[in-house]
């Protein structure tokens, strides 16, 4: 039984990751900022307990990270999969609209948060069975593919996440853990909007197909949802 931790699990791609991981028989730790308000997760927990544990985790709040680490460590000896999925997109801004506060907030959630989550859980991952750390990134973080102006905050944060993914994949403290960045496609969520091309179900099915096939040979790569590598 795969032991799986997911951030940003109360809606969108994160919630669908929870659903599909449970359907495959996984032991899922679904984390979000406010589990007491996460109606969909609570309904799932009624059906899926004891395979689903809800955790309070804000990726920018170090005390919540410490508490979540203690809660997970009290229930399992190892993790096999960690999905760094939580992110924000405060909207495409022109140079005139850029504020330091919004740039920093986006970096804290989308790039620094995943590193801090990895920091809290890498020891459990190292004990896992073919352990994998999946950073849900975006094509928006690809420097080589950005060919026209789109904005600053979200794009810079995902490019930073891509570099942090590369760093994590080479870090000797994460030896044995396959670390990748993964673009989930354009998905109909609050972030992706109603015109996006993929449903969360379609995106997550493709994500799981890719993750199933990963080996240590893949560590440090940037994949897209269709299964190929994406240029950095």
Ligand X SMILES: NC(=O)c1ccc[n+]([C@@H]2O[C@H](COP(=O)([O-])OP(=O)(O)OC[C@H]3O[C@@H](n4cnc5c(N)ncnc54)[C@H](OP(=O)(O)O)[C@@H]3O)[C@@H](O)[C@H]2O)c1
Contacting residues toward ligand X, per CB under 6 A = 7-8, 10-14, 32-34, 58-60, 85-88, 109, 136, 138, 183-184, 186-187, 189-192, 196
Cβ-based nearer residue to ligand X, 2 or 189: 189
Provide the minimum distance between the beta carbon of 224 and ligand X in the complex, in angstroms, as a whole number.
10
3-state secondary structure of 142: coil
Cβ-based nearer residue to ligand X, 59 or 125: 59
Q: Which residue is nearest to ligand X (CB)?
A: 12
3-state secondary structure of 27: strand
- Number of residues that make up the chain: 232
Cβ-based nearer residue to ligand X, 128 or 153: 153
Query: Which residues lie across from 179 on neighbouring strands?
Result: 133
In the numeric block, the tokens 């850029």 are attached to 98
Provide the minimum distance between the beta carbon of 145 and ligand X in the complex, in angstroms, as a whole number.
13
Sequence-ordered list of residues with C-beta below 8 angstroms from that of 140, at least 6 positions apart, any chain: 146, 150, 154, 155, 158
DSSP state of 172: G
Provide the minimum distance between the beta carbon of 33 and ligand X in the complex, in angstroms, as a whole number.
4
Q: What is the dihedral of CA 160, 165, 170, 171, to 10 degrees?
A: 90
Helix, strand and coil content of the chain, in percent to the nearest 5, comes to: 45, 15, 40
Within 10 angstroms of residue 172's Cβ, the number of other Cβ atoms is 5
Provide the minimum distance between the beta carbon of 139 and ligand X in the complex, in angstroms, as a whole number.
7
Assign residue 12 a region (left: φ > 0; alpha: ψ between -120 and 50; beta: otherwise): left
Provide the minimum distance between the beta carbon of 38 and ligand X in the complex, in angstroms, as a whole number.
8
Provide the minimum distance between the beta carbon of 172 and ligand X in the complex, in angstroms, as a whole number.
27
Cβ-based nearer residue to ligand X, 8 or 131: 8
Cβ-based nearer residue to ligand X, 10 or 178: 10
Cβ-based nearer residue to ligand X, 34 or 147: 34
Provide the minimum distance between the beta carbon of 192 and ligand X in the complex, in angstroms, as a whole number.
3
Per the CB < 8 A criterion, the answer to whether 161 and 230 are in contact is no
Cβ-based nearer residue to ligand X, 21 or 129: 21
DSSP state of 198: B
DSSP state of 226: T
């Amino acid at each position: 039984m795969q032991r799986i931790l997911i951030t940003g699990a109360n809606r969108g791609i994160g919630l669908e990751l929870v659903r599909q991981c449970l359907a495959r028989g996984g032991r899922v730790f679904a984390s979000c900022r406010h589990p007491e308000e996460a109606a969909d997760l609570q309904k799932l927990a009624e059906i899926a307990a004891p395979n689903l544990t809800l955790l309070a985790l804000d990726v920018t709040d170090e005390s919540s990270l410490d508490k979540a680490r203690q809660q997970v460590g009290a229930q399992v000896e190892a993790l096999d999969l960690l999905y760094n999925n939580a992110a924000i997109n405060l909207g495409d801004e022109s140079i005139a609209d850029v504020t330091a506060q919004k740039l920093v907030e986006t970096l804290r959630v989308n790039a620094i948060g995943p590193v801090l989550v990895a920091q809290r859980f890498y020891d459990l991952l190292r004990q896992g069975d073919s352990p994998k750390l999946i950073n849900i990134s975006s094509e928006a973080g690809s420097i080589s593919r950005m060919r026209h102006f789109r904005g600053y905050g979200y794009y810079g944060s995902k490019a930073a996440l891509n570099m942090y993914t590369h760093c994590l994949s080479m870090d000797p403290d994460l030896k044995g853990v396959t670390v990748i960045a993964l673009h989930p496609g354009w998905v109909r969520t609050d972030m992706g909007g109603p015109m996006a091309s993929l449903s969360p179900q379609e995106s997550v099915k493709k994500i799981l197909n890719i993750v199933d096939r990963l080996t240590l040979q893949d560590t440090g790569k940037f994949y897209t949802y269709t299964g190929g590598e994406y240029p950095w």
